[in-house]
Structure 1
Amino acid sequence: MAKARGGKSRNKPEPAPAPIEAKRPEEPAVPARNPAHQELPVPGFPPELLDKYEPLEFLGEGGFAKVFKAKRKKDGKIVALKIPRIDERTSKTFLKEITAWLQLDHPNIVRLYDVDILPVPYLEMEFVEGVNVDGKTVRDLGGYPKPVDEKTALKLIRGIAEGLKHAHSKGIYHRDLKPLNILLKSDLTPKITDWGLAKIGTMSSGRSVMGYTPLYAAPEHLMPGKYGHTDGRTDIWQLGVTFYELLTGKLPFEGHTYEEVFGKITDESYRFTPPSKINPALAKYDGIFKKLLAKRKEERYQSVDEFLRDLEKLEEVEKKKAELEKEVEELKKTLSKSVQALKKSTTPEETLRNRRLVVETLGKLALAYAELNRKAELLNTLNDLKFYTVQNLPDLTNAMNTVELLIKENLPVSEDFMERLKVLVHSIKRENGA
């Protein structure tokens, strides 16, 4: 009977067992064989580091590394973990270049706590919380809205410059300074990160990694044969590009292709647009950017300190200008009263006294307008002085002709003209017995 039933089963198709067998492989798929990766609260965090850190958040990824917010298990400290992609070719350079970062301890530099290539390559560093912008957390200067107001731009660039100054004093250069590498604290304190990674990027076998960002690259990045090797002045160039972008909202060297940007940066005859052409209120910075973004390193600021000193001088000049503006308003009021008093004078003595006061006030106004480069008002004031001089009229006429030329050619009042004007004003005052 058994054989007979067996024989029948060979002759008849039996579809029932097939679906049973098909279902069986699905059932054991419920319990995973290696659940470690699936149970990670933050996907992509290296499981090899779970003994030391509790991953909290994935912060971002660039061409070189992933970054995580994590809690250090031994003491509960919140840190940032950068997991770089390096290979055998770059591992030794990684340790050499990054350990230089461990020497840096400054309020404007991200603190590096630890670095290793085992069990996986990682950097443990200070966690920088970011700044709130319209309800959104912005972690780096790259994501911060630009242009910024002048006061904010100066606060940011001074902080970045102070961080560079500290690093340069130890012979450490960044070489890839850009807004993405400047993290922001909640009070907008800038902190420079990723020291030493530019050199590793240059050695990387990945073709897309160049070790610098083209839009912020210095001429010596792109054409070392012509412009020499990178050094501290390379950081100064990149500081200049960042400062320009903060003030204007634009980059000094832009283009639709890499080749176009390359050409503008390396061509000595190409000139970037001065900030004053974008915003006339920024004219005072034109000279500073001429030195920050000089194509030849020898023509740039030779140190961060030199740049900071120029910023201080500019601040002093601006403060003096603000004081002069107030003085001008007071002098205009005094002049109006003096002219009225002169018209009402009834005695020769009273006339002489009020005339002297008018001449003295006009002289002060002329010098203030010259210093403020307010040429139209200067010309009007010199024209008013014509009525109070005979002996100095030829020199006064020459001065007026010079001012008219400056207005026509849109040139600033020079120091030489300023000195000659002081002598002329003094002579007219003496002529009037002042």
Structure 2
Amino acid sequence: MPRRSLEEDFVRRLIISIFLIALLQGFGLLISLFIFLPWIERFLRETGSWKPYPGPEPVPRPMPRKPHSRSPNRGISLTDGLIFEAPKKLIQGAEALIKVGFRNRTGKSLRVSIDLSELALYGKLERRTLDLYLLPGEERSEYVRFVPSKVGKHALTVRVRSGPFMGKKAIEIEITGEKAGGNGLEALLSRYERVELIGEGGFGKVYRALRDGRWVALKVPHVLNERTGKLFLREVSIWRELRHGNIVKLHDANLTPYPYIEMELCDRSLEDLEKPLPAERVAEIAFEVAEGLKYAHSKGIIHRDLKPSNVLLRGSKPKISDWGLAKVLFESGTTTVTAMTPYYASPEQISPSRFGGVDERTDVWQLGVLMYELATGRRPFEGSDFVEVAGRIIMEEPRRPSELNPEAKPLEGVILRCLSKEKERRYGSVEELQRDLSGILGGKYREELKKSVGPSRSAYYAGQLFLLHLRLGDAKEALKYARDLLRYARGREREELEKLIEQIELRVEEGLPVPRELVEKGEVVVHGVGGNPSNCSHS
């Protein structure tokens, strides 16, 4: 009721109350009512009938909000973050791996649940839901096994939920009735526009293949049985998750229509290089291989089979290949322990009862064997068969590299420490190995930087010193050489380098570690600024 109406009602009631009291005193109750009731009624009609205060007006109830698919942070759609990657064609009855995950593009931690139940309508699915917890900016995914059963093209919906929010993504899959048979390899190769055989080894054949305008390497293993086929899928799924500049990128892998691995095409392997190499180049290769191993070890993954044919070169950049394939080869029965010559095997791989189990230091040993061979042109342990080579690995010490090549002297201490029989006497980690390699490389780079007269060479060595310390996590030294490199940067590269310097300065001031993302940015910037001048090129 309005404030004015309340005041008028109060005045009326006050006047009537005073009047009634006066009547009661003068005439008595009954006589007063009998005589003056008509007059009171007329008075009330004239002044307005009294009505009780009805109370506050009811507040309208809010309309229920419609459910929506927007995430709680800045309106970013959950659908945009959903990851669902399946082979272009699925084969009826053939197990396939489907990548399912989420990219958290918000500024908050998210707990998401991905619903795959519609996919289960078209085959046997390992799991129908995937629950993930992601930090801001984090990406996580897993591979889910799926055995297709219903032939045809199918449209389905994959849903993702986070609290009250929901997103959904329309997916199309195609399941064919094609079976892997005697001409399965022919069916596989027919998917590519051009195919050239470029190599063959114990694991299988390697082709150079063109597909959708991109050249790739196609590795086709020897026929696998059911048990090793599952092992093959499991091992390559681990490899597919490794994303690093010093690791060969795996594009695709499956068992149908024939077992295959489609991966990044590189130019050659360490096996193809003419040896021995200069000590500086050996140290550069080893440092970068260690960089890839460092990343894998941080994820709990050990290679176990480093050898020249498994370290490929794209340009001059080394990249580690064949993650987990040695295990598949051994389990497949296509080779035996006694038929394999273990030139690169560690003592613990030959005699675990005596030297303990395999761990990160196994990769350190194998990297030591690689360095020995690159620096001297010979392997540290030779022999005519498995027994002879294995016996020398666990019983004998290798010749000093400088005895075979005097120019290998700067690397001798590093190599021999890697080749210690007892794991405890080797480098405890590849980071520790990198620190010793950086001493060799840093000295060489600084010497060349002082001697450099042209801007191209100066930029190259300043860039290499910057990257060297950045990869070691030494932000203070990296900052020093980043500022040197700034002298040679122009245009967009200069802007990017200035931003990078600001980030490094902040980490120096706050004492923060150098993340891998910063190293990757540094590699891109150095490539743009310094390049690799022809008078600094490597084999």
With the length of structure 1 as denominator, give the TM-score of the two structures.
0.57
Q: Which residue of 2 aligns with 1:177?
A: 306
Q: Which residue of 1 aligns with 2:375?
A: 247
What is the aligned-residue RMSD (CA, Å)?
Answer: 2.5
Which of 407, 414, 425 aligns to 1:299? It is 425
User: Residue 143 of structure 1: CA displacement?
Assistant: 1.9
Contact 1:198 1:212 in 2 (8 A): no
Deviation string for 1:284-313 (max 9, x for gaps)? Answer: 333212320111112111111100001123
Which of 222, 225, 235 aligns to 1:97? It is 235
Aligned 1:100-111 pairs, distance under 5 A: 100-111=238-249
Q: Which residue of 2 aligns with 1:69?
A: 208
Contact 1:201 1:209 in 2 (8 A): no
User: Residue 279 of structure 1: CA displacement?
Assistant: 3.1
State the alpha-carbon separation in 2 of the partners of residues 92 and 161 from structure 1.
Answer: 30
Unaligned runs of 5+ in 1: 1-43, 131-138, 324-434
* Alignment of 1:81 onto 2:252: no
Deviation string for 1:68-104 (max 9, x for gaps)? Answer: 11122xx322111111122123011111111100111
Contact 1:63 1:209 in 2 (8 A): no
Q: Which residue of 2 aligns with 1:168?
A: 297
User: Residue 322 of structure 1: CA displacement?
Assistant: 10
Deviation string for 1:164-216 (max 9, x for gaps)? Answer: 1121111111111000111122x321111111101112212234467975111
Q: Which residue of 2 aligns with 1:157?
A: 286
State the alpha-carbon separation in 2 of the partners of residues 59 and 210 from structure 1.
Answer: 28
SS in structure 2 opposite 1:70?
Answer: strand
Contact 1:65 1:82 in 2 (8 A): yes
User: Residue 246 of structure 1: CA displacement?
Assistant: 0.7
Contact 2:283 2:441 in 1 (8 A): no
Structure 2 CA distance for partners of 1:50 and 1:247, relative to 1, 3 Å: closer
User: Residue 255 of structure 1: CA displacement?
Assistant: 2.1
Counterpart residue type for residue 324 of structure 2: G
Which structure has more helix as a fraction of its residues?
1
Q: Which residue of 1 aligns with 2:198?
A: 59
Contact 1:202 1:211 in 2 (8 A): no
**Structure with larger Rg:** 2
State the alpha-carbon separation in 1 of the partners of residues 288 and 447 from structure 2.
Answer: 25
SS in structure 2 opposite 1:68?
Answer: strand
Which of 189, 213, 216 aligns to 2:317? It is 189
Which of 382, 402, 419 aligns to 1:276? It is 402
Q: Which residue of 1 aligns with 2:262?
A: 124
Counterpart residue type for residue 284 of structure 1: P
State the alpha-carbon separation in 2 of the partners of residues 257 and 117 from structure 1.
Answer: 33
With the length of structure 2 as denominator, give the TM-score of the two structures.
0.46
State the alpha-carbon separation in 2 of the partners of residues 190 and 81 from structure 1.
Answer: 19
Counterpart residue type for residue 307 of structure 2: K
State the alpha-carbon separation in 2 of the partners of residues 260 and 210 from structure 1.
Answer: 11
Q: Which residue of 2 aligns with 1:424?
A: none
Deviation string for 1:102-124 (max 9, x for gaps)? Answer: 11111221100111112211111
Structure 1 range deviating more: 44-53 or 60-69: 44-53
State the alpha-carbon separation in 2 of the partners of residues 293 and 111 from structure 1.
Answer: 29
Report % sequence identity: 47
Which of 404, 414, 419 aligns to 1:288? It is 414
Contact 2:184 2:256 in 1 (8 A): no
Deviation string for 1:21-48 (max 9, x for gaps)? Answer: xxxxxxxxxxxxxxxxxxxxxxx99222
State the alpha-carbon separation in 1 of the partners of residues 218 and 426 from structure 2.
Answer: 36
State the alpha-carbon separation in 1 of the partners of residues 373 and 190 from structure 2.
Answer: 43
Deviation string for 1:381-400 (max 9, x for gaps)? Answer: xxxxxxxxxxxxxxxxxxxx
Contact 2:269 2:312 in 1 (8 A): yes
SS in structure 1 opposite 2:193?
Answer: strand
User: Residue 317 of structure 1: CA displacement?
Assistant: 6.0
Unaligned runs of 5+ in 2: 1-182, 450-539
State the alpha-carbon separation in 2 of the partners of residues 316 and 47 from structure 1.
Answer: 51
Structure 2 CA distance for partners of 1:77 and 1:248, relative to 1, 3 Å: same
Contact 2:283 2:440 in 1 (8 A): no
State the alpha-carbon separation in 1 of the partners of residues 337 and 187 from structure 2.
Answer: 26
User: Residue 280 of structure 1: CA displacement?
Assistant: 3.5
Deviation string for 1:219-239 (max 9, x for gaps)? Answer: 111111111222221111110
State the alpha-carbon separation in 2 of the partners of residues 212 and 96 from structure 1.
Answer: 24
Which structure has more strand as a fraction of its residues?
2
Aligned 1:408-419 pairs, distance under 5 A: none
Structure 2 CA distance for partners of 1:212 and 1:159, relative to 1, 3 Å: farther
State the alpha-carbon separation in 1 of the partners of residues 218 and 235 from structure 2.
Answer: 17
Counterpart residue type for residue 226 of structure 2: E
Q: Which residue of 2 aligns with 1:133?
A: none
SS in structure 1 opposite 2:399?
Answer: coil
SS in structure 2 opposite 1:214?
Answer: coil
SS in structure 2 opposite 1:53?
Answer: coil
* Alignment of 1:265 onto 2:402: no
